[in-house]
Chains A and B, each alone.
Chain A
Amino acid sequence: MSSRTLYDKVWNFHQVKDLPGGSTQLFIGLHLIHEVTSPQAFSALNEKKLGVKFPNLTVATVDHIVPTSNQQRPFSDPLAEEMLATLEKNCKTHGIKFHGIGSNSQGVVHVMAPELGLTQPGMTVACGDSHTSTHGAFGAIAFGIGTSQVRDVLASQSLAMNKLKVRRIWVEGELQKGVYAKDLILHIIRHLGVKGGVGFAYEFAGPAIEKLSMEGRMTICNMAIEGGARCGYINPDETTFKYIKGKEHAPKGQEWDKAISWWKSLASDSTATFDDEIQLDGSSIEPTVTWGITPGQGISIKETIPNPELLPKNEQQIAKDACKYMNLKPDEPIEGQSIDVCFIGSCTNGRLSDLQEASKIVKGNTVAAGIRAFVVPGSQKVAKEAKEKGLDKIFLKAGFEWREPGCSMCLAMNPDKLEGRQISASSSNRNFKGRQGSANGRTLLMSPAMVAAAAINGKVTDVRKFL
């Protein structure tokens, strides 16, 4: 009787060799690249006179630097254009499939790969982007890497890795109406801390997790890294298989049945032992908003800004810094905090269901005066499906801008930026100082539906009032 975790099983399948010094040479089954972290890796390959070992196991798209208002080439920003042109050239030289602007399959790398069926259970997935943990939603081991490691994967399809410990986060119950996967993961990070996951892979399990859609599961795994866990995963089940079935790169015919039985065999055994286990009650979670400068500084919509003096000693300094930076006073409610900008999008919450949930709040309402609100679909496919459902018209009618797909104001490498001290309600993943393009701009993280409610009221609002 096997008693192994999914992490153990997938790791074993991909072990090439034990390296001197204790790390493992791990085979990478799917390598995703984009324009920001790959150019220097290709340059390094050229310097070392190396080629790409398995070009068909690397897939490229462009997302971080693309403008979302006008995607005509050449881009008006010459640096952005140079990055895209460099990626196009590198893909062409090495025979790598590139999903570019106008291909109908371009998008934020962690949105487009799953929707093409590229991400599947049992894979190892690496990408020069920390939110690669997203792909763990399918029962893959997926993690972000740096550019030197992108070079190594291109050259050898493998990486030198240390095996992680596994912490199972068991979520009982069911999320209440108006509470989404985003609230759950913000709640988890709040309680385990932004460094609680260092050295661990997070296995998310339990009834509340099983009830989530694949898109909700991706939101959870996406932010595992914000809790310090380089990878997060969820055991594959019928929800997973149903999502993959029929996708462009999904197994077909007889292979499909064989794939299902292999995928099923990968789930953590009921007798598996974990290095650590934590239980939470999903039913008691409320809509959650960050008030500070790390994703761990979240509170429920009904709570007040914490008083730094009353926090555990090791959290006091960063809480004081956060109050000062955010210009928020201890003991004030977060509900009602005024905002300037509303952003719906990103690899965390830029998928169709995110836009659908937000559109339900927006429908028939109008964006409050003085608020700049915009929607950036996560991919060309998301944009197309949303338009087919008329979501673009709902948002536009309410006063939102409807943009082209890209990473946009999640990290503001394109023209979408906060200005000065502006404060945003954002469905993205990081509220770090300066993250959204203004060195002193401020970010409140929340679910897309909460962002929509904030846009309508011009201030942080409990989305349940709209339901």
Chain B
Amino acid sequence: MNQKFPKGEIKSIQGRSITIRGDDIDTDRIIPARFLKCVSFSALGEQVFADDRKELKGNHPFDVDNNKGANILIVNENFGCGSSREHAPQSLMRWGIRLIIGESFAEIFFGNCLALGIPCLTASKEEIVKLQNLVEKNNNQIWDFNLKNLSISNQKETVKLVLDEGAYNMFFSGKWDATSQLLDEEEKINKTFNNLPYLNNFK
């Protein structure tokens, strides 16, 4: 398991890919609720997709030997819907995932990934299915993600990707960890506080 977590600018990611097929994969499936009984995220990497993996008895993409060490995940529509649990992207990250490409993402999941430094990019259904087929045909091939070009490529095939400008800038500049930016504005935060009627006796 890759325990060197994202840090700073994220302009390129290189590695092998893995696919999870299906629409509306919810965060309960990514990490079942019983694993949320913890005060630290550290053990989650082993528990990602626990119930799906148990059902497939070693044949789940996250168990197949050849997929170990992959760091790019290709998914379909509305990935990460449901619960806001950051445990879901944490479990993917601690398994080793550093980039997710899909048809679309649930909003809270997308934001949670952003806060961890894991880009989530989209492409059309046709492009995603093509990518999934290519990945599954040969899971040893190395894929190159390039943020500036918004593309992923295996030398022969290149797929164009989409990322909104805000998230793009955050990964490009390395400012995806919002805390320090937010803290910079202490004076403006206090001013906003002072202008809110409900925090100032409705004056």
Contact of B111 among A146, A258, A412, A440 (CB under 8 A): A146
A 388-431 contacts with B by CB, 8 A: 411-413, 430
B36 CB within 8 Å of chain A: yes
On whether the beta carbons of B39 and A39 are closer than 8 Å, the reply is yes
Q: How many A-B residue pairs have CB under 8 A?
A: 214
A22 CB within 8 Å of chain B: yes
- Smallest CB–CB gap between A159 and chain B, Å? 7
Contact of A40 among B40, B111, B175 (CB under 8 A): B40
A43 CB within 8 Å of chain B: yes
Q: Can you list 23 pairs linking A and B with CB atoms under 8 Å apart? A: A16-B185, A16-B188, A25-B188, A37-B84, A83-B37, A83-B38, A120-B198, A128-B86, A143-B108, A146-B112, A149-B115, A152-B178, A156-B183, A158-B192, A198-B106, A225-B108, A251-B202, A259-B202, A294-B26, A294-B81, A317-B23, A433-B28, A437-B33
On whether the beta carbons of A228 and B78 are closer than 8 Å, the reply is yes
- Smallest CB–CB gap between A16 and chain B, Å? 5
On whether the beta carbons of B28 and A434 are closer than 8 Å, the reply is yes
B 8-25 contacts with A by CB, 8 A: 22-24
* Binary contact track B84-117/A, C-beta < 8 Å → 1, others 0: 1111010000000000000010111001100110
A 258-299 contacts with B by CB, 8 A: 258-259, 262, 294
On whether the beta carbons of B182 and A435 are closer than 8 Å, the reply is no
* Binary contact track A50-77/B, C-beta < 8 Å → 1, others 0: 1001100100000011000000000001
A160 to chain B: closest residue by CB: B178
B75 CB within 8 Å of chain A: no
On whether the beta carbons of B166 and A22 are closer than 8 Å, the reply is yes
A195 to chain B: closest residue by CB: B78
Could you list 12 further interchain pairs (A-B, Cβ under 8 angstroms) beyond the known A54-B193, A413-B33?
A14-B196, A16-B192, A21-B175, A27-B193, A144-B84, A148-B116, A152-B178, A194-B78, A195-B81, A413-B36, A432-B28, A439-B55
A197 to chain B: closest residue by CB: B107
B3 CB within 8 Å of chain A: no
A333 CB within 8 Å of chain B: no
Chain A residues closer than 8 Å to B69, beta-carbon distance: none
Chain A residues closer than 8 Å to B199, beta-carbon distance: 29, 57
Which 4 residue pairs across A and B have the least CB separation, nearest first?
A: A146-B86, A148-B115, A146-B112, A21-B169
- Smallest CB–CB gap between B8 and chain A, Å? 16
Chain B residues closer than 8 Å to A413, beta-carbon distance: 33-34, 36-37
A251 to chain B: closest residue by CB: B202
A310 CB within 8 Å of chain B: no
Question: How far, in whole Å, are A152 and B189 apart by their CA atoms in the complex?
Answer: 13
Report the interface size for chain A: residues with CB under 8 A from the other chain: 82
On whether the beta carbons of A152 and B198 are closer than 8 Å, the reply is no
On whether the beta carbons of B196 and A435 are closer than 8 Å, the reply is no
* Binary contact track A74-86/B, C-beta < 8 Å → 1, others 0: 0001011011001
A266 to chain B: closest residue by CB: B197
Chain B residues closer than 8 Å to A162, beta-carbon distance: 164, 166
Contact of B81 among A132, A157, A194 (CB under 8 A): A194
Contacts A83-B37, A262-B197 given; indicate if A128 touches B84 (C-beta within 8 A).
yes
Contact of A434 among B29, B39, B107, B166 (CB under 8 A): B29
On whether the beta carbons of A318 and B22 are closer than 8 Å, the reply is yes
Question: How far, in whole Å, are A317 and B21 apart by their CA atoms in the complex?
Answer: 11
Contacts A27-B193, A156-B189, A195-B106 given; indicate if A434 touches B32 (C-beta within 8 A).
yes
- Smallest CB–CB gap between B80 and chain A, Å? 11
Chain A residues closer than 8 Å to B65, beta-carbon distance: none
Contacts A259-B198, A321-B22, A434-B29 given; indicate if A27 touches B107 (C-beta within 8 A).
no
A13 CB within 8 Å of chain B: yes
* Binary contact track B154-197/A, C-beta < 8 Å → 1, others 0: 00000000001111111001010011011101001100110111
Interface residues of A (CB under 8 A from B): 13-17, 19-23, 25, 27, 29, 36-37, 39-40, 43, 48, 50, 53-54, 57, 64-65, 77, 79-80, 82-83, 86, 120, 122-123, 128-130, 132, 143-149, 151-152, 155-160, 162, 194-195, 198-199, 225, 228, 230, 251, 255, 258-259, 262, 294, 314, 317-318, 321, 411-413, 430, 432-435, 437, 439-440
Chain A residues closer than 8 Å to B139, beta-carbon distance: none
Question: How far, in whole Å, are A147 and B78 apart by their CA atoms in the complex?
Answer: 21
Question: How far, in whole Å, are A110 and B108 apart by their CA atoms in the complex?
Answer: 18
On whether the beta carbons of B112 and A148 are closer than 8 Å, the reply is yes
Chain A residues closer than 8 Å to B198, beta-carbon distance: 29, 120, 122-123, 251, 259, 262
Contacts A15-B192, A195-B81, A294-B24 given; indicate if A146 touches B51 (C-beta within 8 A).
no
- Smallest CB–CB gap between B26 and chain A, Å? 5
* Binary contact track B38-56/A, C-beta < 8 Å → 1, others 0: 1111000000000100110
On whether the beta carbons of B22 and A157 are closer than 8 Å, the reply is no
- Smallest CB–CB gap between B191 and chain A, Å? 8
On whether the beta carbons of A13 and B84 are closer than 8 Å, the reply is no
Contact of B202 among A13, A64, A262, A439 (CB under 8 A): A262
Chain A residues closer than 8 Å to B83, beta-carbon distance: 129-130, 411, 430
B149 CB within 8 Å of chain A: no
Contacts A318-B24, A413-B36 given; indicate if A17 touches B185 (C-beta within 8 A).
yes
B169 to chain A: closest residue by CB: A21
A259 to chain B: closest residue by CB: B202
On whether the beta carbons of B34 and A437 are closer than 8 Å, the reply is yes
On whether the beta carbons of A439 and B32 are closer than 8 Å, the reply is yes
On whether the beta carbons of A318 and B23 are closer than 8 Å, the reply is yes
Contact of B179 among A123, A152, A259, A318 (CB under 8 A): A152
B82 CB within 8 Å of chain A: yes
Chain A residues closer than 8 Å to B29, beta-carbon distance: 432-434
On whether the beta carbons of B202 and A145 are closer than 8 Å, the reply is no
Question: How far, in whole Å, are A435 and B28 apart by their CA atoms in the complex?
Answer: 6
Question: How far, in whole Å, are A40 and B39 apart by their CA atoms in the complex?
Answer: 6
B32 to chain A: closest residue by CB: A434
On whether the beta carbons of A82 and B179 are closer than 8 Å, the reply is no
Chain A residues closer than 8 Å to B108, beta-carbon distance: 130, 143-146, 225, 230
Contacts A20-B169, A433-B29 given; indicate if A14 touches B192 (C-beta within 8 A).
yes
